[in-house]
Amino acid sequence: MKRVSVASLLLVGTLAAALVPTGAVAAGPAEQAVEAARRRWQGSPHGPMLERILPPTFAPAQLPEPRARGAQLAVEYCVQCHNLPNPAMHHAAKWPGIVERMVVRMRGKGNMGELMREMMGGVRAPDEAERAVLLAYLQRHAQRPLDPRKYPAVRTDAAKSFRLACQQCHTLPDPQRYTAAEWAEVVARMERNMLWMNRVVGTRPVADEPQLRIDEILEFLQSNAKRG
Ligand code: HEC
Ligand code: HEC
């Protein structure tokens, strides 16, 4: 029941976003640039596929250090094919490989190069100096990975759901990042991210397979959370 309502909320949100003319929203230049880019990639024949790469949960206003050059470059380059990436999605060690993969693509080569070329019309690639600034920015605000030596409980059965569900798309996050109350919100957003990206654990019920146990995940994160 819960899944259905979240899914329909997402749908309503998408429809509303598509119907509301951008002029009607008090949007800054960054929002307008992102919106213009979104119309371009959504309108391409690959729109539905590109839509699912990253969820629309993260807006330019949420970028850390929004005035930093790195933040501006992210808004300039990283929204040309999909929704805006959150620097905190990945840990610092992960970003160089991802940025490399994306820059190769922006140059019209690499994995999915052919597909990308079809919508390459207006796609621009950062130069070397811009790429370095962008990468440093993403790494500066990256996810802090969980250190299993600090949280030995992560290896126990009680944390199994957390281990399985929460490293499908990125590294396991350090529980000290948020307070217990904040974790409840973040995990609820992650449930929506999972629906959005269609990678939910437990969509195929298999005997003895662990299902997505949000209560167990919250229990682990909240018992190790930052004090409020
Ligand atoms: C030319 C189109 C294009 C541009 C521009 C682009 N991406 Fe991507 N991005 C893709 C495609 C296609 C995928 C899905 C395939 C994959 O993961 O490589 C993707 C996937 C992603 C993912 C999800 C996959 C993962 O490993 O988590 C992240 C994060 C991401 N891009 C970040 C970025 C960043 C940061 C930038 C700006 C530096 C950027 N993208 C610019 C095409 C692009
Ligand atoms: C389907 C892919 C996916 C799964 C599975 C997933 N996440 Fe995420 N996660 C994302 C994306 C995309 C972002 C960046 C966008 C956002 O913040 O919503 C993110 C960002 C985060 C962040 C950084 C948020 C910030 O701004 O500080 C944390 C912490 C996090 N996830 C925790 C979790 C936890 C805990 C779980 C398990 C319940 C989980 N994630 C499962 C996709 C996923």
Residues 162-212: tens digit of each pLDDT = 999 999 999 999 999 999 999 999 999 999 998 888 765 555 555 555 567
Q: Is the CB of 165 under 6 A from ligand 2?
A: yes
Contact 148, 155 (CB under 8 A): yes
Which of 22-31, 84-93, 158-167, 185-194 bottoms out in mean pLDDT, i.e. has the lowest? 22-31
**pLDDT, mean of residues 120-135:** 89
Calculate how far, in angstroms, residue 2's C-alpha sits from the geometric centre of ligand 2: 19
Sequence-distant (≥ 6) Cβ neighbours of residue 210 within 8 angstroms: 160, 161, 164, 201, 202
**pLDDT, mean of residues 38-53:** 88
> Tell me, what's the pLDDT at 108?
76
Q: Is the CB of 168 under 6 A from ligand 2?
A: yes
**pLDDT, mean of residues 127-139:** 98
- Closest residue (by CA) to atom 14 of ligand 1? 53
Given pLDDT bands bounded at 50, 70 and 90, which one contains residue 228? confident
Higher pLDDT, 166 or 45: 166
Provide residues with CB under 6 Å of ligand 1.
53-54, 77-78, 80-82, 85, 89, 98-99, 101-102, 105-106, 112, 116, 123, 134
CA distance 143 to 171: 8
Determine the distance from the C-alpha atom of residue 215 to the mean position of all C-alpha atoms in its chain, rounded to a whole number: 22
Given pLDDT bands bounded at 50, 70 and 90, which one contains residue 147? very high
Contact 81, 53 (CB under 8 A): yes
Calculate how far, in angstroms, residue 99's C-alpha sits from the geometric centre of ligand 1: 8
Which of 11-25, 59-73, 136-150, 157-171 bottoms out in mean pLDDT, i.e. has the lowest? 11-25
CA distance 104 to 116: 11
Nearest 10 degrees: Cα torsion 103, 78, 92, 194? -120
Percent of the chain whose predicted confidence (pLDDT) is above 90: 58
Q: Is the CB of 54 under 6 A from ligand 2?
A: yes
Q: Which of 168, 187, 166 is nearest to 178 (CA)?
A: 187
Higher pLDDT, 135 or 202: 135
Calculate how far, in angstroms, residue 10's C-alpha sits from the geometric centre of ligand 2: 17
The dihedral built from the CA positions of residue 151, 154, 158 and 163, taken in this order, carries a sign that is positive
Q: Given a cut of 90, is residue 33 above it in pLDDT?
A: no
- Closest residue (by CA) to atom 20 of ligand 2? 89
Calculate how far, in angstroms, residue 218's C-alpha sits from the geometric centre of ligand 2: 14
If one counts every other C-beta atom within 10 angstroms of the C-beta of residue 228, the result is: 8
